[in-house]
Amino acid sequence: LEVEEDDAENLLKALEKELQRRRFGSPVRLEVEESIDAHVLELLVSELDVSDSEVFHLPGPLDLTGLEAIVRLDRPELKYPAFVPQTHSHLAEVESASPVDMFSALSRRDVLLHHPYDSFATSVQRFIEQAAADPHVLAIKQTLYRTSGDSPIIDALVDAAESGKQVLVLIEIKARFDEHANIRWARKLEQAGCHVVYGLVGLKTHCKLALVVRDEGIGIRRYAHVGTGNYNPKTARRYEDLGLLTADEGVAADIGNLFNNLSGFARQREYPNLLVAPESVRAGLLARIQREIEHRQAGRTARIRMKANSLVDESTIDALYRASQAGVQVDLCVRGICALRPGVPGLSDHITVRSVLGRFLEHSRIFWFDNGGEPQAWIGSADLMHRNLDRRVEVLVRIPSPGHVAELGQLLDLGLDDGTSSWWLGPEGEWERHDRSADGEPLVDLQGALIARHRRRRDNAAAVRR
């Protein structure tokens, strides 16, 4: 959508007009089956006024949304066993069925969430709902990019504003194909008394942040959430994502300053615990790749592991090639587009690229560096693409707890292990499936193994409490 943000007297109205025009706009792409009749194709091209370069011949079904009907069939023997996300052990009920006090739990320790294995409803959603109901909470600040149609997050923010709390919501109303829904949410939140802002001119706000400011008698304390996925309870059951719930003063202060920046109250560009696009995500990652090269050259341990949805940024790819040439082991898990070529002699001998496709959509982003034996890990919303690094507000947070850094390392170990079922990218750009061992035995299903692991952890934690 093309909207002049500077000139629009009312951005919502301008966007609504543009959405109405989009329904009758010119096509930019025509998808047809390979077997389409030439006369029919000629008629479509003529009537729709598209060029030959805008016609795409596809080998399979055109509208895959129809597959939803197959999923809804009552054939349990053809489906995965039922899976119910579990409450994180550090947020589980104690002694009774009443929900845990989120703020007491977070004042004791940070919580690293792994959805959908850890329930979104009893972690992130409960965090916002308890903040809205807590009389000691002074303010809630949150970004919203996409959310569900019947969003309990929106309802909680409305309740908070109506009870007199200061509520700031940064809504990205230009989120592709969610524009109508986000405009509706923006109006509902404004009517409830929330301060609704639409981010920085020329940039989409894609970061996933929430901040709660609470008066605890002896002083003000801030609690924060940084995630890799949207505040959407429905997709949180199908998308694999990570999130950090924390009361860390440094992280919370940085997020507070970033909200001030995004809402126009202040202009700050340096955040000690965050990497923020478009200013510092690319530069920060390149600096850390270079640091691994220097560790390797000095004889210290060096390794780079990254998990992302896409990798096409040339600067990042070139830096990873340099790391490989310096002898640094680089292991990547990339679900979608990957423009890097691993295993090319003299260029990327020390780089592997894997992709995990399974029951859940792998959506989290992890950037893990050995750092000479003192590992660091970052998680957040940014993929390694131009749009993320240059045209969006994205946030990566440094994980404060060494235990959580180690936990992310173990997760990457499992996902990148040769014994885990995955797709491997070759030096010629071809993907090859590896799902069986040399003996013909099936390899480990990553997501199935994580379901079993989280169940064991929850059962062990419950046994300890008893």
Point out the residues that are catalytic. Answer: 206
Half-sphere exposure (Cβ direction) of 223: Cα atoms closer than 13 Å: 26
Q: Which amino acid is at 435?
A: D
- Least Cα distance to 341 among 326, 333, 353, 323 occurs for 353
Which structure tokens are listed for 277? 């696009």
Q: Are 289 and 319 in contact (CB under 8 A)?
A: yes
Q: Are 132 and 156 in contact (CB under 8 A)?
A: yes
Q: Are 198 and 171 in contact (CB under 8 A)?
A: yes
Which structure tokens are listed for 88? 């994180």
DSSP 313-379: -HHHHHHHHHHHHTT-EEEEEESS-B---TT-TTTSTTEEEEE--SSSEE---EEEE-GGGS-EEEE
Alpha-carbon span 8 to 16, nearest angstrom = 12
Specify the 3-state DSSP secondary structure of 309: coil
Strand partners, 422: 434
